[in-house]
Amino acid sequence: MIELDARRLMCPMPVIKAQNAIKTMTSGDKLRVTCSDPGVMQDIPAWSRINGHTILKAEEIDHEYIITIEVGDD
């Protein structure tokens, strides 16, 4: 599991950070992104759907939004 801290970044920066991290990963790898902008709860799943990755979990804990993505094929 790779961890990515995207706190204090506003959308679409967390999406860009996740995208750039995933570029260096391979299919089946997992990325957990921690964010403070609630917009990620829409934008990261939308970006993942478009690009063929799977959201394993998206949760809000203490005003933080934690999303786990499994990298898809490609």
Where on the chain is the footprint of another protein (CB under 8 A)? 8, 10-13, 15-16, 19, 37-39, 41-43, 46-47, 49-51
Closer to another protein by CB, 19 or 34: give it.
Answer: 19
Instruction: Kindly state the smallest distance separating residue 44's Cβ from another protein, in Å.
Output: 10
Residue 15 phi, psi (nearest 5): -65, -45
**Helices (H) then strands (E): counts for the chain:** 2, 4
Question: Does 35 participate in catalysis according to the annotation?
Answer: no
Please pick, among 9, 11, 13, 58, the residue that the annotation labels catalytic.
11
Sign of CA dihedral 29, 31, 23, 72: positive
Q: Which residues are catalytic?
A: 11
